[in-house]
Amino acid sequence: MNHPASPVTTTVPRFEELVAPSHWRTVDFISDLHLQASEPATVAAFQQYLEGTTADALFILGDLFEVWVGDDAMSEPSSFEARGCALLRAAAQRLPVYFMHGNRDFLAGPAFLAGCGITGLADPTVLVFGGQRYVLSHGDLLCLDDVDYQRFRLQARSAAWQQQFLTQPLATRRVQARGIRQESEARKQSGATYADVDSPAAIAWMQAAGAHTLIHGHTHRPADHVLAAGLQRVVLSDWDAAALPPRLETLRLSSAGLERLPLAPK
């Protein structure tokens, strides 16, 4: 596939590796919850899930929050960010929780991880579980046709851009965040289509990692794709408790393989 001229590179990235402890029997994956104060039903469903999961570990593969304006937002005790981290902190006392940045919460930093008691994950990471290797990613880096976004991603992940943004007053950043949410909602209502993961790039990642499965979110298109002989791409669902029917799905990995588990909201 020929892609428009852009700063995007199809070079296979370096993979971090996480070997699951031998006592892990089940692992859960979620992504794209886009938690925000204006959607309390989804927040409540997330709390319900955290309190009830029987998994041995939880992997959050990006966009847990609709937007993250900086770790200092947690310093306001009544803030949505502080309440969200309290939920994670309570869960992390029962099971290990791993967090990978998405395109909405990429500014979550060391203070966020430490405050929530969770572990950061590089994108991509290879999980070794049950003798098999799984590539974990948020997925945005593989959407090569979204040239404008890839250009912004390259800029926004730089230390200079982030420092410039985070030095602004918290109130100013919150105003900008509201603008981002409004733009996102307008695009959603317009029915605009989003770029999907580039299949050749996904195959290259799996082959380089010695893995048969890529697990990712970002696209909001939950499905299982066979890309080549023995290679599959498994897309996580986004969460929306207000949708009809509600979208509240966990992907569980066990010795039996991968299984999608819908959460019934209370």
Residues 6+ apart with CB under 8 A from 235: 139, 197, 216, 217, 219, 221, 222, 223, 224, 225
The gap between the terminal CA atoms of the chain, to the nearest Å, is 46
- Is 220 annotated to bind a ligand? Reply is yes
Closest alpha carbon to 109 in 27, 43, 166: 166
User: DSSP secondary structure string, 207-225?
Assistant: HHHT-SEEEE-SS---EEE
Cα(36)–Cα(43) distance, rounded to whole angstroms?
7
- Is 32 annotated to bind a ligand? Reply is yes
- Is 103 annotated to bind a ligand? Reply is yes
- Is 28 annotated to bind a ligand? Reply is no
Report the run of H or E that residue 19 belongs to, with start and end: strand 16-19
Residues for the chain: how many in total?
266
- Is 184 annotated to bind a ligand? Reply is yes
Radius of gyration of the chain (CA): 18
- Please report, for the chain, how many H helices and E strands are present, in that order: 7, 12
- Is 196 annotated to bind a ligand? Reply is no
What is the pairing mode between strands 257-262 and 249-254?
antiparallel
**Annotated binding-site members:** 32, 34, 63, 103-104, 138, 146, 184, 218, 220
**Annotated binding-site members for substrate:** 103-104, 146, 184, 218
**Annotated binding-site members for Mn(2+):** 32, 34, 63, 103, 138, 218, 220
